[in-house]
């Protein structure tokens, strides 16, 4: 998928998440593309199971993201940003914010969920905050060493920790969802640049429907 295709698909998914009653015309206007193009991308998202459609009053339609849609939105966000010129700057700012929160809450021992460029940035930033990264969770690199840190397949195998920061750039939403099933969500930090939809947000959306 080209950068332009990624940007349009991401724009459609973000628009649906923010407002399920959004019109295709408004999405086209906000993205600066033709209405027919938005219609084409929306149909593609529906066919791939990322978006579901239902009838709304006044012969209109309501759209909402499926779990697969949330995952795809998060994946595309990470893919788009990792190829962006501003990635390092944005990531560093976000890491500084999260590590500042960890410091305030006394979360000194941290695990990174995902061996990636983002993980490297977090690792470098921790030196400015007096925090310690104790391990990395990444099934594909389990048993190896990343940034001098041990890599485990699952969080249950890691040494005691205070918090986890999601740093996966390939499947950030899936990584977050997997962590929530094992540890309290308040102990999981999600950089906003990854576009992850947190548990509470998902539950509120499901309730609203």
Q: State the pLDDT at residue 83.
A: 62
* Structure token digits, residue 187: 């102990």
* Domain chopping of the chain, boundaries: 3-65, 87-200
Q: Is the pLDDT of residue 119 over 60?
A: yes
- 46 by Cβ neighbours in 10 Å (0-12 / 13-18 / 19+) ranks as middle
- Kindly state the average pLDDT of the residues 28-43: 87
Crossing angle of helices 35-47 and 3-18, in 10° steps, is 80
pLDDT for position 104:
92
Domain 87-200 has CATH 3.40.640.10: no
The pLDDT value recorded for residue 205 is 41
- Mean pLDDT calculated for residue range 100-125: 92
Interhelix angle 87-105/117-126, rounded to 10 degrees, is 50
Residue 63 to residue 17: CA distance in whole angstroms: 8
| CA proximity to 122, closest of 106, 105, 135, 141 | 135
pLDDT digits (tens, 9 = 90+) for 133-145: 999 999 999 999 9
Per CATH, which fold does 3-65 belong to? Arc Repressor Mutant, subunit A (1.10.10)
User: pLDDT tens across 45-99, in order?
Assistant: 999 999 998 876 666 788 989 999 999 988 887 777 666 556 777 888 899 999 9
pLDDT at 201 over 50: no
Non-local (6+) Cβ contacts of 45 within 8 A are 9, 12, 13, 16, 51, 69
Report strand pairing: 188-189 vs 51-56. Answer: unpaired
Buried b or exposed e, range 126-142, using 16+ CB within 10 angstroms = beebebebbbbbbeeee
- For 174-193, the pLDDT digits (tens) are 999 999 999 999 999 999 88
User: Average of pLDDT values for 9-29?
Assistant: 88
């Amino acid at each position: 998928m080209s950068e332009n295709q990624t940007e349009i698909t991401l724009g459609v998914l973000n628009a649906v998440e923010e407002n399920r009653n959004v019109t295709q015309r408004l999405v086209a206007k906000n993205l600066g593309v033709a209405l027919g193009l938005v219609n084409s991308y929306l149909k593609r998202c529906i066919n791939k199971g990322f978006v579901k459609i239902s009838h709304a009053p006044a012969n209109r339609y309501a759209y909402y993201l499926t779990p697969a849609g949330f995952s795809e939105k998060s994946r595309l966000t990470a893919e788009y940003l990792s190829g962006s010129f501003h990635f390092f700057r944005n990531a560093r700012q976000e890491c500084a914010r999260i590590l500042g929160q960890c410091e305030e809450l006394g979360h000194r021992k941290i695990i990174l969920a995902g061996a990636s460029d983002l993980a490297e940035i977090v690792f470098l930033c921790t030196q400015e905050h007096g925090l310690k990264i104790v391990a990395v969770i990444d099934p594909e690199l389990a048993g190896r060493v990343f940034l001098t840190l041990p890599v485990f397949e699952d969080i249950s195998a890691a040494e005691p920790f205070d918090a986890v920061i999601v740093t996966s750039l390939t499947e950030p939403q899936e990584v977050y969802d997997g962590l929530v099933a094992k540890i309290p969500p308040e102990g999981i930090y999600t950089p906003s640049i990854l576009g992850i939809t947190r548990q509470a947000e998902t539950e509120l959306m499901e309730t609203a429907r």
